[in-house]
Structure formats: C-alpha cells, structure tokens
Amino acid sequence: MSQRSCLSVILAAGEGTRMKSAMPKVLHAIAGLPMVAHVVKAAEAAGATGLALVIGHGTEEMRKAAQKFAPKAETFVQETRLGTAHAVLAAREAISKGYDDILVMFGDTPLIDAEALATARQKLAEGAAVAVIGFRPPNPTGYGRLIEKGGRLVAIREEKDCSEAEKKIGFCNAGMMAVAGKHALRLLDKVGNSNAKGEFYLTDIVEIAGAEGLDVVATEASFENALGINNRAELAEAEAIWQARRRREAMLAGVTLIAPETVYFSHDTEIGADTIVEPNVWFGPGVQISTGVTIHAFSHLAGTTIAANCEVGPFARLRPGADLRKKAKVGNFCEVKQATVEEGAKVNHLTYIGDARVGAGANIGAGTITCNYDGFSKFFTDIGEGAFIGSNSSLVAPVTIGKGGYIASGSVITESVPDDALAFGRARQKTIPGKGKDCL
C-alpha cells in the first residue's frame, strides 16, 4: 500500500452555527491547532500525497489559515450546500488526477487517527471499491446504521428509515470513507437527490457500488476517533480527550507528570525523558524541552527551548524566544522573553529578562529588570559570563555588562560596564536624625 497514491478530500464548508461564532467552525482549536489541521495531520500520517479542502463559510479566512497548516493543499469552494456527495464533487478537479485512493474526511472530526484511515486504505489495496469507517457509540440513537450481510456492507441506513431490527444495530456510520480512485467520480456522479431534502448524500454510493457488483466493506474505529464537533461543549470534550491521550504518551515516553490532569500540552510540544512536570503547568505552541528538566508548578511556557537539566518555576513565565541552555535556572515569579539564559546561569526570583543574553554562570538578583522598551523600540541587554547583578537593579538597554561584572543592588545602569568592573548607579543615602516623626 505504501506505493499507492492517495488524495484526502476534507469537507470543511459547514457554517457551524451551533458554535455561536463568526469564525468558521473548523478553525476552532484543539491543543492550539485548528481542528481541521488535526484532520490534515492524520491524513498525511496515513499516507495522503494530495490534499483537497472543500470550503464555504469564511472562504478567505479559511484560505489564509490553510496556508499555515496545509500550504500544499488545493482549496475548492462549495458555493451552495447540497449534501455531502455534492461537497466531495466540488473537488472534482483534484479527484480526476488519477489517485489510487480517495479518503473522504470531515474537518470537524479532529480526533481521527492515522491508523483508522490506513486500515480503510488497506481494504482498497485488497480490492474493495469502498471502505466505510464505522464506530460503536455508547448510544447509537441518531446515527446512521451500517447494514452488513455476509461480511459486506450493503447499505447505510439513517435512523428514521431503519426497521425496529435495524435500530438495534450498534455499528454506526462515522461519515468518513475511502473510495478507490478509479471508481470515485463514476460513483459520485450516480448519486441522486430524490429524498426529502433534495440533497446528494455521499452514503448513497454504498448501494450504488453494490449494485455494480463492487466490493464494499466497513472498518471499525473507536468512538473517540469518530467524535464530531458541533458546539463549544463538544469542543471542550474533544480537548479533554486529546489532552488525556497526549499525557499518556508523555508518561509512557519517560516524563513524570505529578498531577497529569492539570497539565496542558499544545499540539507540537516536545518533552524529553526524565523531565518532571509539577501540577498546573501550561505548554503553549512551540515548546521544546530536553531531558532531565524540572518544571515546577503553575508555570506557563510558549515558544520556548529548554536544554537538559534546567529548572523552571514555580510561577514562571517563559514567552516566545526564551532559550535556556544546560543547567540554567529560571525561578519563581520570573518572566523571560526573547532572551538566552546560558549554561548554569540563574534568574532566581521576581525578575524580568527581555531581549537579552545572560552569560554562562551569571547570577541575576531578585527584582532585576532589563528595561528593553522605550515606548517606541526594543533594545538589547548583554550580560557577560559570570556577572553578578544585585537585587532590584534596572539595566536600561542598550547596555552591556562585561564578563565578571558586578552591579551593586538597587542600581540603575544606563552605561555599559567593562569586564570585572563594579558599578553603582543609585542615589547616595542621606539620614536626617529625628525627622522621621514629622512624616507620620
């Protein structure tokens, strides 16, 4: 099957009115990634060599988003919504290119995994013309039933059309299917709209293919794989399922999560073995963590790279561009943004480091601030190897603190400090005996 070409047609034209949102439904995020992008990733992992997005509501917004998560995808607009078969045929141009397999998927099923799709493709490789993906929900009420005879799928029956015996069938239609490319357009073109809604239903190709004597089968995916999102409550349910899967993957890969249910990953979080994550930690997009790292409780990370054996938090915020080198430490109530903290450097508490470099082995005292913004532009602070910055110091960028430099506590530093120099930048203390009582 690995040599078979595959086109994934992803239907993403629905308005999603139940989301109560101006944004297209499929752009609502799971783990920081639009749900339709999760579908794209699953298709690609299952071997899809081509992608066709069928869009409608929010056309320009969808195209702009697709450039990020599926830059090579072709987009097709379903101008009027006349059913699922009609939607698939909006991608006629892509389907006609001669792919071996056509995967038909929905942009609002973000939990579908590559294995379920690959299983359906395998059935095509074995000779089936159509392979429908089914699932067994806890309660089948409301779902179309998969009617099988002799190991073959003969029909997909909507519940309102089911007999009492058919209503007892627990095997239901997930909506997704794989169709042999050589049959796809012919079968789709035969779908009619002689029904109450006057729509063209994709499910009709099961009986059409059967009538032609073609082999039609059903494969089974988990209930979670088939979960469709129609409102914000279901979006939250899908998020919870995704997070539970990812937490388990992390723990089985050697990561310790003290309270797994309180840790939230993003779709692209990378985290190495022997890392310990304490409760209530949030990983935003773009976080890469090496091995042996400790992330203390209530820390918030995004766009961050952390090397081996670092320590972060508790209550630390690492913003995009934070780069911690080996054995660096960023402690409690510290914020680091667009800055490198080099090997063994310590930013222990109550400190802001932005647009800066903290040299190897340097120590940043409590309450230190790099004053990187003058209201118009950002400027850089360079703190040399082994420097010591005393508590409550303000380093007004652009400024350089040389290797081994020492900044006295409470200083405001506006000029660069040479290597091994001691710098004071504070007003001289004046004490007036007996005057204090007049101030009370």
Q: At what angle do helices 35-45 and 114-125 cross, to 10 degrees?
A: 40
Q: Are residues 198 and 265 in the same domain?
A: no
Q: Are residues 210 and 266 in the same domain?
A: no
Region label for 185, one of left (φ > 0), alpha (ψ between -120 and 50) or beta (otherwise)? alpha
Of 193, 220, 247, the domain-final residue: 220
> Could you list the residue range(s) of the whole structural domain that residue 30 is in?
6-220
How many structural domains is the chain composed of?
A: 2
Q: What is the chain's pLDDT, residue by residue, as a tens digit (440 residues)?
A: 558 999 999 999 887 789 999 899 999 999 999 999 999 999 999 999 999 999 987 888 999 999 999 999 999 999 888 999 999 999 999 999 999 999 999 999 999 999 999 999 999 999 999 999 999 999 999 899 999 998 899 999 888 888 899 999 999 999 999 999 999 999 999 999 888 788 899 999 999 999 999 999 999 999 999 999 999 999 999 999 999 999 999 999 999 999 999 999 999 999 999 999 999 999 999 999 999 999 999 999 999 999 999 999 999 999 999 999 999 999 999 999 999 999 999 999 999 999 999 999 999 999 999 999 999 999 999 999 999 999 999 999 999 999 999 999 999 999 999 999 999 998 888 888 887 877 76
Q: Are residues 213 and 254 in the same domain?
A: no
- What kind and span of H or E run contains 40? helix 35-45
Q: What is the pLDDT of residue 39?
A: 97
Q: Are residues 239 and 214 in the same domain?
A: no
Of 195, 220, 245, the domain-final residue: 220
Q: Which two tokens stand for residue 137?
A: 């929900």
Number of other CB atoms surrounding residue 39 within 10 Å: 29
| 70 in any annotated domain | yes
Q: What are phi and psi of 152, to 5 degrees?
A: -115, 150
Q: Are residues 23 and 126 in the same domain?
A: yes
Q: What is the pLDDT of residue 29?
A: 96
Inter-residue contact 334 to 316 (CB < 8 Å): yes
**169 vs 220: CA distance, rounded Å:** 14
Inter-residue contact 239 to 30 (CB < 8 Å): yes
Q: Are residues 237 and 307 in the same domain?
A: yes
| 191 in any annotated domain | yes
Q: Are residues 122 and 265 in the same domain?
A: no
Non-local CB neighbours of 397 within 8 Å, separated by 6+ positions: 355, 356, 370, 371, 372, 378, 379, 380, 381
Q: Are residues 131 and 236 in the same domain?
A: no
Q: Are residues 112 and 246 in the same domain?
A: no
| 318 in any annotated domain | yes
Q: Which two tokens stand for residue 407?
A: 């900044």
Q: What is the pLDDT of residue 236?
A: 97
| 436 in any annotated domain | no
CATH number, domain with residue 37: 3.90.550.10
Strand pairing report for 270-271 and 152-157: unpaired
* Local structure of 436: helix, strand or coil: helix
Quote the pTM value: 0.91
Look at residues 236, 225, 241 and name the one whose alpha carbon lies nearest to residue 28: 236
**How does DSSP assign 244-262, residue by residue?**
HHHHHHHHHTT-EESSGGG
Q: Is the dihedral of CA 62, 133, 8, 207 positive or negative?
A: negative
List residues with catalytic annotation: 349
| 305 in any annotated domain | yes
Of 190, 220, 250, the domain-final residue: 220
| 227 in any annotated domain | no
Look at residues 366, 357, 277 and name the one whose alpha carbon lies nearest to residue 324: 357
**Contacts for 193-201: CB closer than 8 Å, 24+ residues apart:** 193/82, 193/83, 197/83, 198/82, 199/82, 199/83, 199/84, 199/86, 200/82, 200/83, 200/84, 200/85, 200/86, 200/89, 201/83, 201/84, 201/85
| 203 in any annotated domain | yes
Q: Are residues 102 and 240 in the same domain?
A: no
CATH number, domain with residue 240: 2.160.10.10
Q: Give strand pairing partners of 411.
A: none
Q: What is the pLDDT of residue 426?
A: 84
Q: Are residues 189 and 250 in the same domain?
A: no
**434 vs 440: CA distance, rounded Å:** 12
Q: Are residues 295 and 163 in the same domain?
A: no
Q: What is the pLDDT of residue 161?
A: 85
Q: What is the pLDDT of residue 80?
A: 86
Q: What is the pLDDT of residue 2?
A: 59
| 1 in any annotated domain | no
